[in-house]
Amino acid sequence: MFPRDFAWGAGTAAYQIEGGWDSDSKGPSIWDTFCHHEKGRVFGEQNGDVACNSYELWEEDLQCIQQLGLTHYRLSLSWARLLPDGTTQHVNQKGVQYYNKVIDDLLACNVSPMVTLYHFDLPQALQDHGGWKSAGIAAAFDSYARFCFQTFGDRVKLWITINEPYVCAKLGHEDGVHAPGLKEPGVAAYLVGHNMLRAHAMAWHSYNSFYRPEQRGAVSLAINSDWVEPLHPGSTEGIAATERYLAFTLGWFAWPVFVTGDYPEVMRSAIDAQSRKLGHSGGSRLPSFSQDEPSVLGTADFFALNYYTSRKVKPGGGCGQVLCVKSDRDAVDVLDPSWPVCGVSWLAVVPHGLRRLLKYIKDTFHNPAVYITENGFSQVGPLQMEDVQRCEFYQDTILEVAKAIGEDVVDVRGYFAWSLLDNFEWADGFSVRFGLFHVDFSEAERTRAIYRSGQEYAKIIMKHRSQTSPGLPS
Ligand code: GBH
């Protein structure tokens, strides 16, 4: 059912698990600043100062990884831990040592690392120079990426440059609910998304020219997308709204990289039409790619998808007389009442949406190799170690992945559960738990304990690994 070398993984991100926020001369990141100084933005004024304390407890994480029988582990590097002021002028050797140990330990246990360079935690020093809104950020990211390829690329063969540019752009610079907490609707998100694509493309070209010949790895960016369908399948407006919705999430980043080197046409025309309607003068709010820079087209060696949920879509939504992404998109999403919602309000459980999205990706983006780099199920409120719903969720979802491979012939290469551990869930703090392992945040030891769903995932992995390699020693 699953290819023999299928990647069975789980993921985490540096700020969500590491703690050690100022240990060993780590520099502050925008999430440190956001949590420490912005009142009322994060649940219970919580922060990632300690989180799971993985900076000190890495070996316990490794035990969890082994207990699950993972073949792959996805982690992110803290840019400000490696380069405290964001630049390669100052390298923090303690940070290098930490990640060297993590990578070496994984390999010693026969687990392959997938490494994300950027998972929401920009060095504050770079934010002070304009952050992702400034054009210069792309070169800074490229230097950081080269440093990482140079330092870790002899052992790391799967790279994600940027995690979820959509979330950084929209939640961080339009809605202001993520760091850096800017609320500059209708303009900043497009600029930030653009600079993230430029940064990603520069890093991919650096890898391709200078590191790939020797290191032979693969580089992509992780794109988050819900599966969407029209609320009223017979409505022409509904179908058009659904297309716009997809263009403004998945298409925003995948179209330039996989199809044309530019944004989806429907996205630009919708933005420009809205600008005209509200009398916005000046050029398009959606930047253009310069001919003088290396193209973003073709800068992904595989498709990295973060999928959590599905939506029904109808036309509408906006911000009155203010320009914003929502009104540009002119498409609102609603939850189908027949879909159960787990934990957080946004997460409707729709495993079949993943299969449909995978088929859509195959058909739209030229049949790429796909890694599902995140997928998970949260719990909120009364804690259940016997989390049977999440067990079902993983069974159902992995079955849909199997159908995508077996029946729709999508080239899926791996599946990464989100997350290895309960962790700092951004604006929701520690109130939302995505882990396969429970972490007790009330005590200093941060004890990890496997959930029933962790045991279930381990069983699934064991079953498939033995089925897919008949007769071979593991
Ligand atoms: C992922 O994003 C992140 O990569 C990961 O770090 C995180 O822990 C994980 O999700 C679980 O949340 O509150 O109505 O504005 C997933 C994509 C997009 C899902 C934004 C939540 C917010 C909906 N996310 N969305 S709302």
Q: What is the pLDDT of residues 250-290, one digit of tens each?
A: 999 999 999 999 999 999 999 999 999 999 988 999 999 99
Over the stretch 21-38, which tens digit does the pLDDT of each residue have? 999 999 999 999 999 998
Using an 8 Å Cβ cutoff, are 374 and 425 in contact? no
Distance from the alpha carbon of residue 224 to the mean position of ligand 1, in angstroms: 9
Over the stretch 201-242, which tens digit does the pLDDT of each residue have? 999 999 999 999 999 999 999 999 999 999 999 999 999 999
Mean pLDDT computed over 409-438: 98
Atom 24 in ligand 1: residue holding the nearest Cα: 167
Query: Higher model confidence: residue 320 or residue 430?
Result: 430
Using an 8 Å Cβ cutoff, are 81 and 26 in contact? yes
CATH superfamily of 7-464: Glycosidases (3.20.20.80)
Q: Is 164 in the pocket of ligand 1 (CB under 6 A)?
A: yes
Ligand 1 test: best mutation among 335, 345, 374, most atoms within 8 Å of CB? Answer: 374
Mean pLDDT computed over 334-341: 93
Q: Is 308 in the pocket of ligand 1 (CB under 6 A)?
A: yes
- CA–CA distance, 60 with 241 (Å, rounded to integer): 47
Using an 8 Å Cβ cutoff, are 364 and 259 in contact? yes
Q: Is 346 in the pocket of ligand 1 (CB under 6 A)?
A: yes
- CA–CA distance, 241 with 333 (Å, rounded to integer): 10
pLDDT reading at 471 higher than 50: no
Q: Is 116 in the pocket of ligand 1 (CB under 6 A)?
A: no
Q: How big is the chain by its Cα radius of gyration, in Å? A: 21
Using an 8 Å Cβ cutoff, are 390 and 377 in contact? yes
Q: What is the mean pLDDT of the chain?
A: 97
Question: What is the model's pLDDT at position 468?
Answer: 59
Here the tokens at position 43 are: 């649940």
Question: What is the model's pLDDT at position 466?
Answer: 84
Here the tokens at position 467 are: 């089925």
Strand partners, 448: 439
Given the CA of residue 427, which atom of ligand 1 is nearest to it? Answer: 13
Distance from the alpha carbon of residue 163 to the mean position of ligand 1, in angstroms: 11
Ligand 1 test: best mutation among 43, 121, 160, 308, most atoms within 8 Å of CB? Answer: 308
Q: Is 224 in the pocket of ligand 1 (CB under 6 A)?
A: yes
Over the stretch 453-469, which tens digit does the pLDDT of each residue have? 999 999 999 999 887 55
- CA–CA distance, 93 with 109 (Å, rounded to integer): 24
Q: Is 76 in the pocket of ligand 1 (CB under 6 A)?
A: no
- CA–CA distance, 248 with 324 (Å, rounded to integer): 12
Given the CA of residue 376, which atom of ligand 1 is nearest to it? Answer: 11
Over the stretch 8-67, which tens digit does the pLDDT of each residue have? 999 999 999 999 999 999 999 999 999 999 899 999 999 999 999 999 999 999 999 999
Question: What is the model's pLDDT at position 231?
Answer: 97
pLDDT reading at 381 higher than 90: no
Question: What is the model's pLDDT at position 473?
Answer: 47
Percent share of the chain, pLDDT over 90: 94
